[in-house]
Homo-oligomer: A and B are copies of this chain.
Amino acid sequence: MNHMAEKEGVVFIGTKPPMSYVLAVVTQFREGNKIVQVKARGKAISRAVDVSEIVKNRFLEGLKIGTIKTGTESLKGERGDTINVSLIEIPLIKDDEVIKQKPKKKEEKKE
């Protein structure tokens, strides 16, 4: 809907301690991203929630968690067998930028 492209970052959660991903998320916001997608699959999903909660509660005030999506990915095993793995995507949204940009309302009114 918004014609203004939001700068969006992604952090994939693996097996490292949560704090390393927390720092990655905070860094991506500092680099100018307004949304950072925290993505994980399988057992790392719990850690993705931990990371999002830590960023929200301890590092960035006014951060909002957007609509969390889940899904299933089918991976092919070596013997042709299929393994289903769950996915999660947690969008972290820094909305103070939105407030700052509200003033410029009608930039150009195409006729």
CA distance A53 to B70 in the complex (A): 8
Residues of chain B with a CB closer than 8 A to A25's CB = none
Among A52-110, those with CB < 8 Å from B are 52-53, 57, 65, 67-68, 70-72, 84, 86-88, 90
The answer on a CB contact under 8 Å between A86 and B50 is: yes
**Chain B minimum-CB-distance residue to A73:** B53
Number of residues from A at the complex interface, CB < 8 A: 21
CA distance A100 to B46 in the complex (A): 37
CB neighbours (8 Å) of A90 from chain B are 70
Q: How far is the CB of A46 from chain B (nearest CB, A)?
A: 4
Closest to A71 in B: B53
Interface residues of A in 23-63 (CB under 8 A from B): 42-46, 49-50, 52-53, 57
What is the minimal beta-carbon distance from A39 to any residue of chain B, in angstroms? 13
Cβ 8 A contact of A53, one of B43, B44, B67, B72: B72
Q: Which residues of B contact A42 (CB under 8 A)?
A: 46
A-B contact pairs, 25 of them (CB 8 A): A42-B46, A43-B43, A43-B46, A44-B46, A45-B45, A45-B46, A45-B49, A46-B46, A46-B86, A49-B70, A49-B86, A49-B87, A49-B88, A50-B86, A52-B70, A53-B71, A53-B72, A53-B84, A53-B86, A57-B72, A57-B84, A65-B70, A67-B68, A68-B68, A68-B70
